[in-house]
Amino acid sequence: MRKLVVFLIVMSTALATCDDYVASAVNDMNGTSCIYPQCFGAAGRYKEAATCYLMQGDQQAANAYFQKASDYYLQGITYIGPAGDYPLRAPSFEYAADMQAQLRDSALAAKYYDSAIGEYLKLGDAPAADAAAAKRAALSNPPQNATGFSVLAGNFLIGAVVIVIAIALFIYFRRPGEQPAGVASLPPARIESVETEPVSKEPVSSAKEKMRDKIRRKYGLA
């Protein structure tokens, strides 16, 4: 039963659709207004949705979610004060600029990259500032739209990978009780009872606190 559950999880992940990213973003917000950290997490989901639609050749949907991601990154910045998670202001500006670069709004992208560079320099993060500056300089070469051939090739590759995974998992799961030849089955290990001290129940942190902790760990702020 456990192997079947693992199989279903792997397959559902491999077959995820662009709408799943949108649903995840809505779930991140959980009906709240766009404040940090909810809107920062939702912005990342909308970015994934936009990239997914772009790979499918749906430029209109991709543009809509690139813009939505940019808006959410910028809204999150207004709630990041001079203490705590302040270092996230810089990447938020940078990510918003990335979204505008995808939308080919070079002027707006350059403005946000400049803000990101300034924030990185305040933090003394010269390498990150240089990376943002390189992106700004590359705005003269905007990203090309995915051609029909490249989209078809990408979809074919994804489909091939899914089929290979499905075949491998089918072969692995079809004989769950079989052991490799020459391996003797071992008697079940005897488990000694161990007295454990009662675990104190701590209050469960809110969803907002969990998301903040996750983002802080990701950017080394914990």
- The DSSP string of the chain is -HHHHHHHHHHHHHT--HHHHHHHHHHHHTT--S-TTHHHHHHHHHHHHHHHHHHTT-HHHHHHHHHHHHHHHHHHHTT--SSSSGGGHHHHHHHHHHHHHHTT-HHHHHHHHHHHHHHHHHHT-HHHHHHHHHHHHGGGSPPPPPPHHHHHHHHHHHHHHHHHHHHHHHHHHS-TT---TT-PPPPPPPPPP---PPPPPPPPPPHHHHHHHHHHHHTT--
Enter the pTM of the model: 0.61
Number of domains in the chain: 1
Any domain includes 157 = no
Highest mean pLDDT among 2-16, 28-42, 47-61, 197-211: 47-61
User: In this predicted structure, which of 126-130, 162-166, 168-172, 176-180 has the lowest mean pLDDT?
Assistant: 176-180
pLDDT range class, residue 152, cuts 50, 70, 90: very low
pLDDT range class, residue 137, cuts 50, 70, 90: very high
Any domain includes 29 = yes
> Distance between terminal CA atoms of the chain?
38
Which residues constitute the domain of residue 107? 2-148
Report pLDDT for 86: 85
Any domain includes 221 = no
Any domain includes 164 = no
Any domain includes 48 = yes
Any domain includes 32 = yes
Q: What is the CATH number of the domain that holds 95?
A: 1.25.40
Percentage of the chain beyond pLDDT 90 is 39
Any domain includes 203 = no
